[in-house]
Structure 1
Amino acid sequence: MNLYVSLLRTGVPALVGWLVALAARYGLDLDPAALAGVVVPVVSFLYYAALRTAEVYLSPRWGWLLGYARPPQYPGGKAALPSS
């Protein structure tokens, strides 16, 4: 289950970044290579960072926008979400 959760929480921001870049391609006159090489990773990173910050400091409910409500827990390791 942890593998599924971690893949889902990585894949959802990547999908959001791709969709934003795809939408920008139709609204802006940008080079497709620039969209794929710059916009997708930047938007994906910003989306993930904003939602992880909201998940930690505001409410764990923000995790749903990453595809799963809680960060994965790894046996024998530290929790991915700091305890309050």
Structure 2
Amino acid sequence: MSEAFLALWASTVRTIVPIVVGSVLGWFAGANIPLDPEFEGKLTALLTLLFTTAYYVAVRLFETYISPKLGWLLGYAKSPDSYSAEKPNKHIAQ
């Protein structure tokens, strides 16, 4: 597989995993709260956004300041800077 594909795969996985985690946590947080059905959907969306953001930021901080191995919590151990740093993008005209 090409380096470009591997970088794309890594960035996609590291984007989707926090969304899934945030969605599951948001669903669990709002599952037992009896609310108006219209408001329930909005609350679940808001909780998903908050949990996704918190999870991603926390894991990136842990990965940066504690151990790069914690990147696996995002589904792929390499951080974005390690698979894109010092590699000029061949597809962008300069």
State the partner residue of 1:32: 41
Tell me the CA shift for residue 61 of structure 1: 1.3
User: Alpha-carbon deviations, 1:5-49, whole Å to 9, x = none?
Assistant: 00100100000010011112222235222211x111111010000
RMSD of aligned Cα (Å): 1.5
Larger radius of gyration: 2
State the partner residue of 2:9: 4
| Structure 1 runs of 4+ with >6 Å offset | none
Q: TM-score, normalised by structure 2?
A: 0.73
Given that residues 60 and 71 in structure 2 are in contact (C-alpha distance below 8 angstroms), is that contact kept between their aligned partners in structure 1?
yes
The answer to whether 1:68 aligns with 2:76 is yes
| % identical aligned pairs | 36
Unaligned runs of 5+ in 2: 1-5, 90-94
Q: TM-score, normalised by structure 1?
A: 0.81
Count of residue pairs the alignment pairs up = 76
Unaligned runs of 5+ in 1: 78-84
Query: Higher helix fraction: Structure 1 or Structure 2?
Result: 2
The answer to whether 1:58 aligns with 2:63 is no
The answer to whether 1:19 aligns with 2:31 is no
